[in-house]
Structure 1
Amino acid sequence: MLKAVLFVCSVTSTLAGLKNSASYGNTVLKYYVGQQDTITFGAAVVSCIQKGGELVMPKDKKLNDAVANVAQGARAWIGGGDLFGEGKFEWNDGKDFAWTNWLNGEPNNSNGDEDCVEINLGSRGKWNDEGCCNPRGYVCQIPKQKSTPYENSAFSVYDGNIDQRSYLQAEQFCKRHQSRLALLDDGENFQNLLSKLESPIMTQFWVNSEQDGSSCISVSDNGVSDADCLQSLPFICEQVAVNDLSVSEEQPFVEPGFNLNIKCSASGTPIPKVTWYRDDTYVPHQKHGLGSSTLVLEDIGSYDFGTYVCKAVNEVGGQLRRMEGFSFVESSTALE
Structure 2
Amino acid sequence: MTKILVIAEHLGGQLNASTARAVSAAVAVKPDAIDVIVLADAPEAIAAEAAKIDGVSRVLTVARAENAHALAAVLAPQIAKAAAGYTHVFAPSTTFGKDLAPRVAALLGVSQVSDVMTVEGPHSFKRPIYAGNAIVTVEVDDSTTVVATIRTASWPAAGSTGSAPVEALSLDVTLPNHTRFVGLQQGKSDRPDLQGASKVVSGGRGVGSKENFEIIYTFADKIGAAVGASRAAVDAGYVPNEMQVGQTGKIIAPELYIAIGISGAIQHLTGIKDAGTIVAINKDGEAPIFEIADIGLVGDLFKILPELESSL
TM-score bracket, normalised by the shorter chain, equals under 0.3
Greater per-residue helix proportion: 2
TM-score normalised according to structure 1 size: 0.24
